[in-house]
Amino acid sequence: MDRRDNLRLDGRVAIVSGAGTHGGQGVGNGAATAILMAREGARLVLVDAVSEWMDATKAAIGADGGQATSVVADVTNADDCERAVKTAVETYGALHLLHNNVGGGSVRGSVVEATEEDWQRSTSINVMSMIHMSRYSVPHMKSAGGGSITNVSSVTALRPKAGASSAPYTVNKAAVVGLTQAMALDHAPDNIRVNCIMPGLMWTPRVASGAGAMREMRQTSTPLPTEGEGWDIAWAAVFLASDEARFVTGVVLPVDGGFLLTSAPN
């Protein structure tokens, strides 16, 4: 039997936003997801703000014999999102899968400390980026007979970080959960499933610079005696995008090694 007979995403066209890796150790959640989706037969459109960040992802997909094209885009900009979706349809003829991975938590502070600009920027990155990408993707998925959208949130939505308040980030990651559930209901009649992945304390290039004490903390913060990495998020994303999850929509899936089961920090 040809291996392609068993590929879970064979014939699908997928967009992965935040598909680049920012250097450092390991692989980012978006890059790992794009690579695994390609290995499972999907044709990829990689979207990121910096071309160089996508080069390694595209090279890895090509080395596996997969197909990928890249689009440099700022997903906080609606026109860029429309252009990314248009590229997918013009390049491959359809669109079936969207993985909304872009997010950021650089804004710090409580509701007293964070400025209005801080809130607007955090909302733009963490929520509006997903709304823009989904707005332009859904009509093409409907035309294709259905599809799957996965939004990436964070365990911070349920467990704000003690002692280092980031109210805008926490609120917006919680908003991703609500957005996912609303979209799951809105687009179910069109056979479009919408789910959410909630990563825990993953070891990715974005946090690799905090080696030593930070890594030890991450390795000991979960009940499982191991640390999470981008591939763990990617496998969850592949499952949710595949026909194996055909009856799964509106779900919020923590991929956190049991972090949310632990007691709140002192």
Beta-strand (E) ranges in 164-213? 192-199, 202-203
Quick count: other Cβ atoms within 10 Å of Cβ 77? 15
Relative to beta strand 147-152, strand 43-48 is unpaired
Q: Which of 53, 92, 169, 203 is catalytic?
A: 169
Planar angle of CA 30, 35, 37, nearest 5 degrees:
95
Of 18, 34, 180, 210, the C-alpha closest to 100 is 18
Dihedral class, residue 216 (left if φ above 0, else alpha if ψ from -120 to 50, else beta): alpha
Q: How many whole angstroms separate alpha carbon 170 and alpha carbon 98?
A: 23
Is residue 136 part of the annotated active site? The answer reads no
Q: How many whole angstroms separate alpha carbon 80 and alpha carbon 188?
A: 26
Active site residue ranges: 169
